[in-house]
Structure 1
């Protein structure tokens, strides 16, 4: 995939392989230091892509295992930094977003996709939900 994984030793002495260029794509490293977990998750997804490129797609179990490891890494990080409810909530939201995306992609090989169709869809859904309420406010104001 164009890079060599880097071994990172955590405070508890455990060693994790990571993508040195990986990141927490939508939230950054966070004040809780989720970066190592995200870089390990990125490496896992790159391994899935590599296996597929070489003709040996691993199957849904592999993506589930990588996502499960990511969730465990985030929980462990929250415990390590004593991040409290804020850290746990962010870890849960992040884990849920990853799980949803993996489900949406059928637990297959991760694909890079444009974000804009999802943003437009979300804006349309919010507009459809909020539109009638906003329109009724304007109707009341104009009818006075």
Structure 2
């Protein structure tokens, strides 16, 4: 089991952590975008920040889905902090390459978020591939 999933299980009891596990298919993107938008609305993010988070989550998940092994699950986790939402996603991939930081998609992620990271874990226990991760954060704009 990846550290991502182990960490998510450790936080299951927290009301500030929400996890989704879906088949790694592009048709599931609207579900994940809707959750991101709903959480940002409830956290009182401004409209531009809500749109930015939705687009960034969509890009991160799209990137991972296109790398997914056949019949893989996409694991997504939202961590809610008073002024920030952190989003992590991981998928089992037959490739051990992390997403390119020179791609247009990566530029979208770094433009729309306050931070974005990606990495690859070693081979999975069943030998089907490696876990590819993307984590991003979006902070609430200070009102004043």
Q: Give the alignment's TM-score, normalised by structure 2.
A: 0.37
* Structure of greater relative contact order (alpha carbons < 8 Å, 6+ residues apart): 2
| Larger helix fraction of residues | 1
| Larger strand fraction of residues | 2
Higher CA-based Rg: 1
